[in-house]
Chain A
Amino acid sequence: MSAPNLVTQDNLYEELVEVSSYLYKKALTDLPQDVRSAISTAREKEAGIGRKFLDIMVKSIDVSDETGIILCQDTGICIFFVRWGGRFPLKVRGDLVVDSLRRGIALATDIYDLRSSIVHPISRKNTQDNLGERIPDVHFEFDDSDEFEVRLLPKGSGSENMSFLKMLSPADGINAVKKFIVESVFEAGPRPCPPTIVGVGMGGTADLCMSLAKKAVLRPVGSQNPDLEVAQLEEEMLAAVNSLEIGPQGLGGRTTSFALHIEYAATHISMNPVAVNIQCWRGERASAKISNDGAVRYGY
């Protein structure tokens, strides 16, 4: 791709269409560096069939790098996370941002010949443009920065179908949370295309808890929660899920998950919710950061 245009007040919404379209193709084609490293590390630990699967993953990444063929046939269900800095100098209308992001997804579907994976939930009729009622799902968050960041997670169904929520009681304690996490990974078994990234949400409400689990899968492999107590729990839970030896593609091995990330929110005195959301081995995600001078920087 040629260098992205500078974003100005005049071209903001048209540039966001380009950004959205490019992010979709990038997320489906270009694996994050942290995931590539995790695959290499896992290869060293595996033998037999597990090793064979990881070898094929490496080969397919190479093919995608060379040819631009998308890595998985699943074009996913698109979820955007927009981080809107309060000191970002351009005047921005949120409704027009959503409109641009939608147009970008339809554009990419058309120009890159992407499969449309989106249907109406009752008629099951395919929309043929990867758009639909409330899809893509666009989340806004706000901070005091001078940037405007768009992150895209085109979530594959194999892993998204492996989502689990439990409204535990405070009396169940932390052990019930641990049990639920490990049982969820066991239940998912081979289906989410392991080795996976396990996202865990703790606290909040039912929807916030699951939303946090989703955000947790977006974190780079190797990152840890800044809260030390949470980081320790992440490490303990990763060891526990890997002790299941579900392995690459679920046919056995040491690496069931590359990472387990936990995000949390405060919760109610009578609540103890926990959610698990799983990401497949590709860990696809892409981001575009627009800085205060309008420059666009792409990343993962």
Chain B
Amino acid sequence: MATSSAQIIELNTPLVREETRNLKVGDEVWISGIIWGVRDASLIRMIDDRDIPNCDFQGGFFLHTAPSVRKGDAGELIPVSVGTTTSMRMDRFTSGCIKDLGAAGIIGKGGLSEQSSKILQDEGGVYLSITGGAASLETQQVEAIEDIFLEDLMPECVWKFRVKRLGPLIVSMDSHGNSLYRDVKSRSSERLNTYLKTLSNK
């Protein structure tokens, strides 16, 4: 559970393993530096089909996203809306992202499964929750789209974003086996059973 010792932490990517291990559930994190936008199609391509672009994902973060963009005068891509999509659809790629591609963590919304929690614990990764649907604010924290890879998947390419103080992000699954999603689900499961009992008593 989130504790009163929760901290506010500024991070610059890439992270070293020790920085990731220091993050505890409930901490509030603000990230600056390079993060990588990925989602359904790009993860299928990279992890299932092993078509991995030449990017240095080591110690970086994957953001579950596919933005709206426009082309500037010099052909550069300008963010129109960068938000976050539901992570659970990409749950089976956690090992690929953390263990194989070497990312420090995943930024998303809605959390990941128990299986992913175990992988984060074993490999020293974290899951950070952003506010879903709050893309207008998130877009203002994206300084630039530095590059794109697997462009044929547009808009589901691999996006190289430079962000400045992306946040607030909540550490909701840490590398010590804790998960706020598990805590909430366990409580709401009890509440569900309480409600179902009232039905059977009627």
Q: B202 and A175: CB pair below 8 A?
A: yes
Tell me the chain A residues, 38-83 only, with Cβ under 8 Å from chain B.
Answer: 48-49, 52-53, 56-57, 59-61, 63-64, 67, 69-75
Q: B85 and A74: CB pair below 8 A?
A: yes
Contact of B65 among A49, A73, A247 (CB under 8 A): A73
Q: A251 and B188: CB pair below 8 A?
A: no
Chain B 66-108 interface 0/1 with A at a Cβ cutoff of 8 Å (1 = within)? 1111100000000011111110110000000000000000000
Q: How far is the CA of A74 from the CA of B131 in the complex (A)?
A: 14
Q: Which residues of B contact A250 (CB under 8 A)?
A: 110-111, 181, 184
Q: Which residues of A contact B180 (CB under 8 A)?
A: 49, 251-252
- B139 lies within 8 A of chain A by Cβ: yes
Tell me the chain B residues, 96-138 only, with Cβ under 8 Å from chain A.
Answer: 109-111, 129, 131-138
Binds A, one of B16-24, B48-56, B192-200: B192-200
Q: How far is the CA of A72 from the CA of B202 in the complex (A)?
A: 43
Q: A190 and B181: CB pair below 8 A?
A: yes
Q: How far is the CB of A118 from chain B (nearest CB, A)?
A: 11
Q: B135 and A72: CB pair below 8 A?
A: yes
Q: A113 and B70: CB pair below 8 A?
A: yes
Q: B129 and A251: CB pair below 8 A?
A: yes
Contact of B140 among A63, A72, A124, A247 (CB under 8 A): A63
Q: A59 and B134: CB pair below 8 A?
A: yes
Tell me the chain B residues, 127-178 only, with Cβ under 8 Å from chain A.
Answer: 129, 131-140, 154-156, 168, 170, 172
Contact of A69 among B89, B135, B199 (CB under 8 A): B135
Contact of A245 among B66, B140, B191 (CB under 8 A): B191
- A115 lies within 8 A of chain B by Cβ: yes
Interface residues on B, range: 35 or more
Q: How far is the CB of A39 from chain B (nearest CB, A)?
A: 11
Q: How far is the CA of A182 from the CA of B198 in the complex (A)?
A: 13
Q: How far is the CB of A282 from chain B (nearest CB, A)?
A: 5
Q: Which residues of A contact B68 (CB under 8 A)?
A: 70, 73, 75, 113-115
Q: Which residues of B contact A64 (CB under 8 A)?
A: 136
- B41 lies within 8 A of chain A by Cβ: yes
Q: How far is the CA of A136 from the CA of B65 in the complex (A)?
A: 23
Q: How far is the CA of A96 from the CA of B29 in the complex (A)?
A: 52
Q: How far is the CA of A118 from the CA of B17 in the complex (A)?
A: 39
Q: Which residues of A contact B135 (CB under 8 A)?
A: 60, 69-73
Q: How far is the CB of A62 from chain B (nearest CB, A)?
A: 9
Q: A74-B85, A189-B185, A246-B188 are in contact. Are A115 and B132 (CB under 8 A)?
A: no
- A164 lies within 8 A of chain B by Cβ: no
Q: A281 and B202: CB pair below 8 A?
A: no
Q: A69-B139, A246-B188 are in contact. Are A190 and B202 (CB under 8 A)?
A: no
- A179 lies within 8 A of chain B by Cβ: yes
What are 27 A-B interface contacts by the 8 Å CB criterion? Answer: A52-B170, A53-B131, A57-B131, A59-B137, A60-B137, A63-B136, A71-B136, A72-B81, A72-B83, A72-B135, A73-B65, A73-B67, A115-B66, A126-B156, A158-B109, A175-B199, A175-B200, A182-B192, A190-B109, A191-B110, A193-B109, A245-B187, A245-B191, A249-B129, A249-B132, A250-B181, A280-B132
Chain A interface residues (CB < 8 Å from chain B): 48-49, 52-53, 56-57, 59-61, 63-64, 67, 69-75, 112-116, 124, 126, 128, 156-158, 161, 175, 178-179, 182-183, 186, 189-191, 193, 240, 243-247, 249-252, 280-282
Which 10 pairs across A and B sit closest by C-beta, in order of nearness? A73-B83, A60-B134, A113-B70, A115-B68, A69-B136, A56-B131, A60-B137, A63-B136, A244-B188, A193-B132
